[in-house]
Structure 1
């Protein structure tokens, strides 16, 4: 359908249910790396469960809510980003992401999420973009900072983890802040 260049050989595009086999193969490569950071309902095993994950996002998009996009490098799915939620009436959305190790360190997530924020703010009129991450996920916290987000607070023991409950952090950027941040990056 469409792709958006991210630089080098990387593109961003819709991750739809018909790509379930490709998504399942990607999850097989990424599972161990992303499992500590994403929900168990996302890191599924097999084509049918992968299709169900993608279908949930397709259904969310049909309701003008959650939606998911993939990142391909040289034609291979290596990660992606999503609107975990999108509520135009409230003017609030939450963005999230994941990436397999082979694609890290290239700025793909920062550029990808920047495109999602651009669309949410400029096209859909979103006022507040949220980013929720485990407090110990340093890479995710650094992305939030690069995107000009501010830490709103810590949700203590908010998420179950393999070693017990974990703190989550909520970061956000307001539309006015995003526009200033985006402009400062262009200078």
Structure 2
């Protein structure tokens, strides 16, 4: 298996595969309370079978070139993930999603991992638009979108129901010419 360094602090970005379901479940158990506040993923990965199912779904998405899932490791321990929830090469549009367990926060891991994914999507795959979708109340996620140089496209009011509460959804994006100008490529 390969890993891409995210800096000199022992952080790496690597693919997650079905055989790593136990590790993903252990990570989700550590991240559950933080992640569950914003997205239903934590509630859907609660046992080994559901962890395998998520990893299998993303293996199938990767095989179909419609999505990808990567782990963020810190000193070899899975502490977060970044993914292309949507990857539409034909239209040139994709959406990045992220999560991190509490012990790994405050190190810039999500920003660095998202930069790698955006760079790959734009530079290698020719994607034109990369989206970031977050609850309007998730200030940490929105702060990452800002650090990535994204523009707030708008708000979908009371867009999704999670844990009995309707959430406004903010849509942020960066276009390929903006990303290239930002990264000097």
Bin for the TM-score computed over the shorter chain: over 0.9
Aligned to 1:4: 4
Aligned to 1:72: 73
SS of the equivalent of 2:6 reads strand
Aligned to 1:171: 172
SS of the equivalent of 1:69 reads strand
SS of the equivalent of 1:65 reads coil
Output aligned runs, 1:26-105, within 5 Å.
26-40=27-41, 43-105=44-106
Q: Is the Cα contact below 8 Å between 1:31 and 1:43 reproduced in 2?
A: no
- Cα distance in structure 2, aligned partners of 1:117 and 1:155: 23
Report the number of matched residues. Answer: 184
Q: Is the Cα contact below 8 Å between 1:35 and 1:43 reproduced in 2?
A: no
Given the alignment of the two structures, is residue 138 of structure 1 paired with residue 129 of structure 2, yes or no? no
Given the alignment of the two structures, is residue 147 of structure 1 paired with residue 145 of structure 2, yes or no? no
Deviates further, 121-130 or 161-170: 161-170
Q: Is the Cα contact below 8 Å between 2:28 and 2:42 reproduced in 1?
A: no
| CA positional deviation for 1:162 | 2.5
Aligned to 1:156: 157
* Change over 3 Å in CA distance of 1:68–1:42 after alignment to 2: farther
- Name the TM-score, length of structure 2 as normaliser: 0.96
- Cα distance in structure 1, aligned partners of 2:62 and 2:158: 31
Structure 1, residues 15-47: CA drift from partner, whole Å, max 9, x if none? 111100000001111101110112247641111
Unpaired segments ≥5 residues, structure 1: none
| CA positional deviation for 1:10 | 0.9
- Cα distance in structure 2, aligned partners of 1:30 and 1:182: 31
* Change over 3 Å in CA distance of 1:52–1:42 after alignment to 2: farther
- Cα distance in structure 2, aligned partners of 1:47 and 1:148: 37
Unpaired segments ≥5 residues, structure 2: none
